[in-house]
């Protein structure tokens, strides 16, 4: 009973029950599902002087047009006892054309005929509304809401006891929605409850313990409604995401090819402090506060482990044994053999180049010869100049008489050497 109704009721009592009041209590609006039924909670009050005439009364639901809709009256069922001033009604097999405002009329004998001025707005939709997901209040941070909308995320801490409640309206009491959770983190219990305006809703409660394994886990509540008119269902759902904060997990040491060490750990929020320890005999010594140890720190053999820490805790890795062997210089005989092989290869290349650059004399008519020479690299140790020089000319003039031939050759980088021979 509202404050205004209580005021009227008290006023009537003060006046000895002679107060003339006609009123009906029902929701202002109800959302219904096309093809299903809808319950209209309804109670009414009449002047106390009329109570004696409330015998075998009849109830009629009127539309906003002011005349009863016979089709609607055929599909309505007043389940409340009118003699007890309960006009609760169920409308069956409704369609979208039923959307509108409805008012109630009570009729008894000649002393009771009244149209109540209060109306209820019925909205008929093709799809059911999304279920509402709420979380236990002790998990709600300051400024946040306990009610989670589609796509919302909730921040938890590992070890928290979490209770999620999924609620969906149940406008048709004979066909209430079926609620389910995905994934099913624990057993859930579904109950049917009454709202303040006496409409119904279904609720499913799931309680679980927050774990790092549930970080970024999407949780979905699904509501399934069966219909009266056809053998089909209508479905709606709400998704929320769990964000679980936890201390470092799976902390371990990764060894690089260069001997460097890296500390790896899974944590939320991320690790904000790394500490490296070296175990030498019975002594443990801190060697660094970085995530990685470079090879110049670990060049000495020993046992190492790291510690990862964030605002929720810390964890140590297992100890790793690092063996660092010094790099040995090659034996002296190997260096001597390599030098001899290099000198031999240089001599062979010089012989090949002399044969190609300096052909035998030919006293016949003038001859022009072009040869492709494979580029070689000559150093100052070979007795020749390197770079853009007349290499072939130098080779020939060192080994034969200059009068035998005139040659022009240029070696440029890694390009081929083109040599032109012309008889004098």
Instruction: Reply yes or no on whether the pLDDT at 341 is more than 70.
Output: no
Reported confidence tier of residue 54, pLDDT bands at 50, 70, 90: confident
Q: Which residue has the tokens 């100049």?
A: 385
Kindly state the average pLDDT of the residues 240-251: 97
Please give the pLDDT value at position 84. Answer: 94
pLDDT category of residue 62 using cuts at 50, 70 and 90: confident
Report pLDDT for 348.
73
Check: CB of residue 363 under 8 Å from CB of residue 404: no
pLDDT of residue 290: 92
Two structure tokens written together for 103: 């008012």
- CA-based diameter of the chain, in Å? 155
Question: How confident is the model over 12-28, as a mean pLDDT?
Answer: 69
- Please indicate whether residue 341 or residue 233 has the higher confidence score (pLDDT): 233
All structural domains of the chain with their residue ranges: 3-125, 132-245, 256-322, 350-422
Question: What is the tens place of the pLDDT at every residue in 394-423?
Answer: 444 444 444 333 333 333 333 333 333 333
Range with lowest mean pLDDT among 22-36, 128-142, 147-161, 207-221: 128-142
pLDDT of residue 282: 82
The more confidently predicted of residues 370 and 273 is 273
Question: What's the whole-number average pLDDT of the chain?
Answer: 78
Residue 319 has pLDDT above 90, yes or no: yes
- Residues β-bridged to residue 372: 418
HEC per residue, 243-278: EEEEEEEEEEEEECCCCCEEEEEEEECCCCEEEEEE
State the pLDDT at residue 207: 95
Select 256-322's CATH number: 3.90.226.10, 3.20.20.120, 2.120.10.90, 2.60.40.10: 2.60.40.10
CATH number belonging to domain 3-125: 2.60.40.10
d(CA 36, CA 124): 9
pLDDT at 347 (0 to 100): 61
| pLDDT tens sequence across 382-394 | 444 444 444 444 4
- Residue 112, pLDDT above cutoff 60: yes
Look at residue 308 in the predicted model and tell me its pLDDT: 97
Global pTM reads 0.66
Over range 321-343, report the average pLDDT. Answer: 61
Closest Cα to residue 252, out of 155, 317, 322? 317
The whole-number pLDDT of residue 379 equals 41
Strands (E), 143-187: 147-148, 153-157, 161-169, 178-182
Q: In this structure, are residues 185 and 206 in contact, taking their beta carbons and an 8 Å threshold? A: yes
Report domain 132-245's class: mainly beta
CA 274/CA 262 separation, integer angstroms: 10
Average pLDDT of span 347-368: 54
Q: Please indicate whether the domains covering 132-245 and 256-322 agree at the CATH topology level.
A: yes
Q: Is the dihedral of CA 288, 289, 290, 292 positive or negative?
A: positive
Does residue 93 surpass a pLDDT of 60?
yes
Asked if residue 9 has pLDDT above 80, the reply is no
CA angle, 83 then 73 then 23, to 5°: 45
Confidence of residue 104 (pLDDT cuts 50, 70, 90): very high
Considering only 27-31, 208-212, 278-282, which range has the smallest mean pLDDT?
278-282
What percent of the chain has pLDDT above 70?
67
Q: Regarding predicted confidence, which is higher, 332 or 270?
A: 270
- pLDDT tier at 273, thresholds 50, 70, 90: very high
DSSP assignment of 4-16 equals: HHHHHHHHHHHTT
| More confident call, 376 vs 158 | 158
pLDDT of residue 96: 92
Nearest to 228 by CA among 39, 378, 62, 414: 39
Comparing 390 with 184, the larger pLDDT belongs to: 184
């Amino acid at each position: 009973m509202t404050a205004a109704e209580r005021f009227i009721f008290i006023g009537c009592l003060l006046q000895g029950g002679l107060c003339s009041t006609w009123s009906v209590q029902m929701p202002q609006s109800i959302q219904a599902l096309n093809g299903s039924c809808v319950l209209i909670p309804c109670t009414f009050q009449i002047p106390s002087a009329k109570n004696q005439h409330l015998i075998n009364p009849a109830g009629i639901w009127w539309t906003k047009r002011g005349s009863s809709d016979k089709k609607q009256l055929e599909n309505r069922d007043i389940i409340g006892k009118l003699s007890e001033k309960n006009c609760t009604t169920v409308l069956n097999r409704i369609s979208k054309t039923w959307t509108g405002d409805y008012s109630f009329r009570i009729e008894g004998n000649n002393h009771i005929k009244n149209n109540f001025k209060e109306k209820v707005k019925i909205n008929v939709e093709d799809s059911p509304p999304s279920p509402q997901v709420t979380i236990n209040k002790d998990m709600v941070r300051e400024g946040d809401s306990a009610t989670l909308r589609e796509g919302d995320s909730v921040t938890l801490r590992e070890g928290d006891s979490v209770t999620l409640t999924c609620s969906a309206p149940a406008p048709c009491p004979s066909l209430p929605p079926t609620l389910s959770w995905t994934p099913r983190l624990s057993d859930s219990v579904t109950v049917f409850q009454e709202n303040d305006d006496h409409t119904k809703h279904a609720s499913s409660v799931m309680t679980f313990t927050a774990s790092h394994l549930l970080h970024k886990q999407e949780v979905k509540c699904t509501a399934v409604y069966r219909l009266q008119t056809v053998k089909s269902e209508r479905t709606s759902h709400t998704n929320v995401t769990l964000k679980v904060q936890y201390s470092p997990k799976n902390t371990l040491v990764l060894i690089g090819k260069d001997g460097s060490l890296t500390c790896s750990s899974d944590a939320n929020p991320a690790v904000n402090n790394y500490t490296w320890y070296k175990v030498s005999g019975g002594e443990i010594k801190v060697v660094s506060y970085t995530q990685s140890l470079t090879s110049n720190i670990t060049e000495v053999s020993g046992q190492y482990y790291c510690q990862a820490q964030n605002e929720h805790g810390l964890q140590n890795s297992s100890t790793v044994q690092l063996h660092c062997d010094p790099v040995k210089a090659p034996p002296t005989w190997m260096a001597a053999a390599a030098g001899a092989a290099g000198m031999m290869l240089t001599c062979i290349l010089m012989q090949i180049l002399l044969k190609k650059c300096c052909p035998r004399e030919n006293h016949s008519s003038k001859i022009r010869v072009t040869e492709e020479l494979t580029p070689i690299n000559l150093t100052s140790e070979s007795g020749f100049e390197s770079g853009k020089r007349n290499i072939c000319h130098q080779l020939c003039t060192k080994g034969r008489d200059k009068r035998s031939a005139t040659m022009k050759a240029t070696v440029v980088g890694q390009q081929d050497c083109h040599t032109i021979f012309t008889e004098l």
